[in-house]
Amino acid sequence: MADQDARNGEDKRPTGIPALRWEEPPEGPVLVLLDQTRLPAEEVELVCTDPAALVEAIRSLAVRGAPLLGIAGGYGVALAAVRGFEVEEAAAALAGARPTAVNLAVGVRRAQAAHREALAGTGDTRQAARAALAAARALHREDTEASARMAAHGLALLDELLPAGGHRVLTHCNTGSLVSGGEGTAFAVALAAHRSGRLRRLWVDETRPLLQGARLTAYEAARNDMAYTLLTDNAAGSLFAAGEVDAVLIGADRIAADGSVANKVGSYPLAVLARYHHVPFVVVAPVTTVDPDTPDGASIEVEQRPGYEVTEVTAPQVPVAGAGGGIPVAPLGTQAYNPAFDVTPPELVTAIVTEEGVVSPVTTEALASLCARSRQV
Ligand code: MRU
């Protein structure tokens, strides 16, 4: 088995790159985003002064990942309110910018509810804008705290599932500080294992077609000085067969009431592989990702992305040429199947780790009681 140098990646700067922040310069409040489409080549910031710019940033994946989409949605409503845009209209556009990650709509609704309530109570638009901003800030803070608690619960679970230690963890897509106010979801667990000396290797799926694993997870792993190795998504099977994977850790964009998990396309095949090879398949997500209003996997709307993301390579380092702005890798006019997510049924999920604790086995009843508990807190 090819095993790279334990510490790879050139950039060893510490983490702490904020994926987004609210700023109030003299020209007026703005939402500043780290443009994730440009990583790892460049760290470029995108300054959103109106909700339409944020909607575009969400659609283009400049800002992405379920928890961060929730936070961005909340700030988007606040931005609309403080800058005098029609708030209800902006909220609808933001919530509908991407359909699968339920956190986006949850974040938007929370700031929108705070705005509505303050407006109804006081009739003062400035006070209502302040209430929306306070709600977005609270969401941001809570996500940061949830991230730390998920990491602690996840690490305890890993130690329980893998008492021999020396965890070799496979992950898919990007679930670190680029998707969160804190250190993320699944990646935060791997990072906690690394810091406590228990992570032997982080296997990073490149995550076709937009390479969130290669571009973003490898970027975060390098900055944290983790022992990581990148693989093509197709190489995962042979890695399992070689006995090199002890656990799979992934995030989620929406968890239905029955425990079905929508996550980046390619997650379901990993769950099937994990089951065949008797490897735990663990999902790490905040409680806000559990959607009691979505009864099952079939009810989850899976976002379909443009075919050019498959027929062209749009890595940030390469010069642009094709219809989608990338280098064509398929004959002109080729049709592509490009769902952004897939759905893993609950019976293939070993455990769901949340900030409120671990659900295992994954059942409708266990998830419902977790949600009820979290609402009481
Ligand atoms: O299309 P993306 O990049 O927004 O997809 C992100 C993912 O699928 C993540 O795994 C998911 O949002 C969980 S992040 C904690």
**CA 156 from chain center: how many Å?**
22
What pLDDT was estimated at residue 373?
84
pLDDT of residue 12: 45
> Which residue has its alpha carbon closest to ligand 1 atom 9?
65
Buried b or exposed e, range 157-175, using 16+ CB within 10 angstroms: bbeebbeeeebbbbbbbbb
Q: What spacing in Å lies between the alpha carbon of 233 and ligand 1's midpoint? A: 16
330 annotated to a ligand binding site:
no
Catalytic residue among 143, 205, 253, 342: 253
Q: What pLDDT score was predicted for residue 222?
A: 96
CA distance 128 to 222: 42
Residue that is written with structure tokens 């302040």 in the block: 130
> Which numbered atom of ligand 1 lies nearest the CA of 340?
1
The pLDDT score that the predictor gives to residue 2 is: 34
Ligand 1 pocket, mutate which of 263, 291, 344 (most atoms under 8 A from CB): 263
251 CB within 6 A, ligand 1: yes
Ligand 1 contacts CB of residue 284 (under 6 A): no
Residue 120 token pair: 């109804």
Is 104 a pocket residue for ligand 1 (Cβ < 6 Å)?
no
Per DSSP, the three-state class of 86 is: coil
C-beta of residue 264 within 8 angstroms of C-beta of residue 238: no
Q: What is the pLDDT of residue 318?
A: 60
Name the amino acid, one letter, at 4.
Answer: Q
In this predicted structure, what is the pLDDT of residue 7?
40
Identify the segments of the chain with pLDDT beneath 70.
1-17, 315-321, 376-377
Residue with tokens 């990942």: 65
Predicted local distance difference test score (pLDDT) of residue 319 = 61
Residues near 28 by beta carbon (within 8 Å), at least 6 away in sequence: 49, 82, 83
Distance CA 255, CA 150 (A): 16
Let me know if 253 is a catalytic residue: yes
Which helix (H) or strand (E) segment holds residue 264: the answer is: strand 261-264
pTM of the model: 0.94
Indicate whether residue 143 lines ligand 1 (CB < 6 A): no
How far is the C-alpha of 188 from the C-alpha of 51, rounded, in Å?
A: 30
